[in-house]
Chains A and B, each alone.
Chain A
Amino acid sequence: MSISVKNITKRFGDFTALDNVSVEVPTGSLLALLGPSGSGKTTLLRIIAGLEIADSGSVLCQDEDVTHHSARQRNVGFVFQHYALFRHMNVFENVAFGMRVRKQPKKLISERVRELLHLVRLEGLERRYPAQLSGGQRQRIALARALAIQPKVLLLDEPFGALDAKVRQELRNWLRRLHDEIHTTSVFVTHDQEEAFEVADKVVVMNQGRVEQAGAPHEVFERPANPFVMDFLGNVNVFHGRVQNGRALVGGLEVDCPEYPHQESRPATMYVRPHELEIEHSPNGAASLKARVERINSAGSIAKVFLLAVEFPVGLNVEISPERYGELGLKAGDTVYVSPRKVRVFVPEYVI
C-alpha cells in the first residue's frame, strides 16, 4: 500500500510544525523521516496515523483519500516512542488486543499471536508483563502488537530512541531484516542519520516543518541538495569563500565551480567530507592548503587527523585509511598539504 502526503500544513498556535509538506512512500518500502527535533517529523508521522489532524492538505492510502478517516478506521500499525504497552496486560494480551477489539475468533488470535511472537523472537514470554521486560523486548512487543492487526502501513516513532547503543544497533539490523520478510510499507522517524541511512530504502530530510530533500540514502549522501542537508548529515568541513567566473576561492585554495560562471563575485560556502580530503607531503599548486597536524586518532578502522590551516584560521578533519596513514608516517606538528577530491559549493540565493 503506497502512501502519499500532499501539501500538509499544521500549526500549533503560532508555531508552524509543518509547512506545505508532500511526501511519497512507495508500496513496500521502508522510509525514514530524518531531522532535528522540532523539524516536524513526528507530527507528520502522527498525521499519517490519524493521531493528529492537519490544518490543510491530504493523506492518500493507495488512491483512497483517508484525510478525514479517524485513527481507528485507517488500520495503521503505530509503534509509539515509549511503546505505550498496556501495563496491566501480559505480552499475549498486548499483542492480541487489536484482534480482540475486532472480535476475531479465539483460535485465530492465539495462532496469530504465536506467529508474531516467533517473528519478533519472543516466544515463551506470553505470560510476562511489560514491567518485567527489557527495553528491547518491550520495543519488539510493541512492534508485534502493531503488526497483529495486519496494518496497511507500519509507522514507528523514534523506534530506537529510548534504547542504549548496543541494543539499538541490534534492533536496527533486525528491523531491516524483518521488513525484508514482511514487506509492509513502513515509515519511521529518527534524528540519527546513521540509523536512517543504514535501515531505510528512502530518506526524507526535514527541517523547520519543510522537506529539505528526499531520495535514496546514497543519493542524499552523495548529492545533498543544500547546506542544511550537508550539515545535518554531519561530520563535514565547512569553508567560507567567494565564487567568480566558475572558480571558488577559499584562502589559497581554488576549485572548479561550473555552476557559477558569472563575473560578479559572490560569497559562497564550500563543504568537504573528511574522507574526501587527501593529505600530501608536498604542495599541489592552488588545489591544496598548507596545514599543520594538531592531533591524530588512529584507533579504529580509519585514522582521523585534525589539522589547522596555516594561512587562515580554519580547522580540518581528515579521514584516511590506516594504510595511507602508515605510508605518510604523520605525527603532531608536521606541516602538510591538504587537497580536496570533491567539493560541494553552495551559493546563497540572491535575495534583494
Chain B
Amino acid sequence: MHNAKHTSAAQQFGMHRATHRDPKLVQWGLTLAALLTISVLIVIPLVNVFYQAFAGGLPTYWENLVRDSDTLNSILLTLAVAPLAVVANLVFGLAAAWAITRFQFPGRSLLTALIDLPFSVSPVVAGLMLMLLFGLQGYFGPWLQEHNWKIIFSTPGLILATCFVTLPFVARELIPVMEAIGPEEEIAAISLGADGWQMFWRVTLPNIKWGLLYGVILCNARAMGEFGAVYVVSGHITGRTDTMPLRVEKLFQEYNNPGSFAVASLLTLLALVTLIVKVLLERKTRLELAEAARVVHTPGEAS
C-alpha cells in the first residue's frame, strides 16, 4: 500500500509560488474535474452505502444486523478472526523489522523484498494455496482428517488466509521507521545494563509506537475486509464460516439488499475510522521523525 506521509511545507503553508502562474481558467477547470472524479468514484458510493443501509429506517437497520443470527454470527466471526491475524502479523512485523534494520546478514534485501510478496498474489490464489495444503485432497488433508483437525472450511483456515494477505502490513510500516531511528539508543540501553526485554519495552517500543499502531490499523482494515482468500477457504457455511464481507455477498445473492447494505455500512464505518486514525497518525509520525532528525543531527548551540 502506498501511503502519503508527505505533506510538504509548501502545502502546509497553503501557497505555492507557481500556483499563480496557472491561468484561472485552468485552475478552475482542473479543480472541477478532480472534485467531480472524487465525488463520483468515492463520495457518492460512500454516501450511498449509508443511504441504502438506512433506507428502511433505523429500526429495520438494527433488525437487519442483530435479529438475523447469521449476520450476527458473521460479525462475531470477523471480530475473532481479524484480531488474531493482526496479532500474528504484529509479532512477525516486529521480528522481521528488528532483524532487517538492526543486523547485517546475507540475503537481507531479498528477505525485505519477499515480505511484500503476498501483496502481489491474487487473494483467490492465496486461498487456493491453503486448499492445496490443508484441503481434503491437499498434501496434509488425510493426516489432518486422521487427527480430526479441520482447517479448511473452518475458522483456522480463515485465520491462515487472513494472515497471508495481511502479512506485509506491520513489517513494511516498521522497517522505514526503525531504519530512520537507528540503533544508537538501543545500544546505549544495553551499555547502561538493560537486558533484551528491558531494552525492547523501555526504548524500542516507545520509539516506534505510532508507526506500529499505523501498521496495525491498516492491517486490521484489510483483515476485516478480506474477501477473495477467505471466500475460497470458507466453504460458505452460513452462520459458521461466513465473515462480514462474505455475508455481504451472500445477502446480495439472496436479493436481500437492505441486509447486505446494513453489514456493508459497518465495514464502511470501519474504513472511515481507519482513514481518520491514519491521518492523525501520519501527522504524529511526521512530527516525530522530524524531531528524530533534529535530535540526532543538530549540533548544539551555546548551552
Please give the residue numbers on chain A whose beta carbons come within 8 Å of chain B beta carbons, in ascending order: 49-51, 70-72, 75-76, 78, 80, 82, 84-89, 97-98, 100-102, 130-131, 134-140, 145-146, 148-149, 162-164, 166-167, 170-171
Contacts and interface: CB of A to CB of B under 8 A. Distances in A.
B93 to A, nearest CB: 20
A135 B202 contact: no
Contacts of A164: 299-302
B193 A80 contact: no
Given A88-B207, A134-B303, A82 B296 contact: yes
B302 A167 contact: yes
Contacts of A49: 191
B303 A86 contact: no
A51 B187 contact: yes
A168 to B, nearest CB: 10
B203 interface: yes
B295 A87 contact: yes
- Sorted from nearest, which 7 A-B pairs have the closest CB atoms? A135-B300, A136-B303, A98-B192, A84-B184, A84-B188, A101-B194, A88-B206
Nearest to B296: A82
A167 B195 CA distance: 35
Given A86-B185, A87-B207, A88-B207, A131 B191 contact: no
The B contact surface, by secondary structure, is: helix
A137 B198 contact: no
A176 B240 CA distance: 74
B6 interface: no
B292 interface: yes
B63 interface: no
B291 interface: yes
30 contacts: A49-B191, A70-B190, A72-B190, A72-B194, A72-B195, A75-B193, A76-B191, A78-B188, A82-B297, A85-B188, A87-B185, A87-B207, A87-B292, A87-B295, A88-B206, A100-B202, A101-B194, A101-B198, A101-B202, A130-B295, A135-B298, A135-B300, A136-B303, A140-B303, A145-B188, A148-B192, A149-B192, A166-B302, A167-B302, A167-B303
B192 A85 contact: no
Contacts of A163: 299-300
B83 to A, nearest CB: 27
Contacts of B300: 134-139, 162-164, 167
Contacts of A84: 184-185, 187-188
Contacts of A140: 303
A88 B295 CA distance: 11
A97 B206 CA distance: 14
A130 B297 CA distance: 12
Contacts of A167: 300-303
B299 A135 contact: yes
Contacts of A171: 303
Given A87-B207, A162-B299, A51 B193 contact: no
Contacts of B187: 51, 71, 80, 84
Given A131-B291, A164-B299, A78 B207 contact: no
Contacts of B46: none
A171 B299 CA distance: 14
A297 B189 CA distance: 50
B147 interface: no
B302 A136 contact: yes
Interface string B285-299: 000000110111111
B192 A97 contact: yes
A254 B185 CA distance: 59
Contacts of A137: 300, 303
A331 B300 CA distance: 42
B97 to A, nearest CB: 18
A51 B198 CA distance: 18
Interface in B168-187: 184-185, 187
Contacts of A85: 185, 188, 295
B16 to A, nearest CB: 30
Contacts of B291: 87, 131
A131 B295 contact: yes
A289 B294 CA distance: 54
Contact of B191 (A71, A138, A139): A71
Contact of A86 (B188, B294, B298, B302): B188
B296 A80 contact: no
Given A102-B193, A131-B291, 18 more contacts: A71-B190, A72-B193, A84-B185, A84-B188, A85-B295, A86-B189, A86-B202, A87-B185, A88-B207, A89-B206, A101-B195, A134-B302, A135-B300, A137-B303, A139-B300, A148-B192, A163-B300, A166-B302
A95 to B, nearest CB: 10
Interface string B191-214: 111110010001100110000000
Contacts of B297: 82
A164 B301 CA distance: 7
A146 B189 CA distance: 10
A164 B299 CA distance: 7
A98 B203 CA distance: 12
A90 B251 CA distance: 55
A170 B206 contact: no
A264 B195 CA distance: 65
A177 to B, nearest CB: 15
Interface centre among B189, B206, B207, B295 (most CB of A within 10 A): B295
A286 B188 CA distance: 61
A156 to B, nearest CB: 12
B286 to A, nearest CB: 15
Nearest to B290: A131
A48 to B, nearest CB: 11
A74 to B, nearest CB: 8
A131 B296 CA distance: 9
A80 B189 CA distance: 11
Contacts of B184: 80, 82, 84
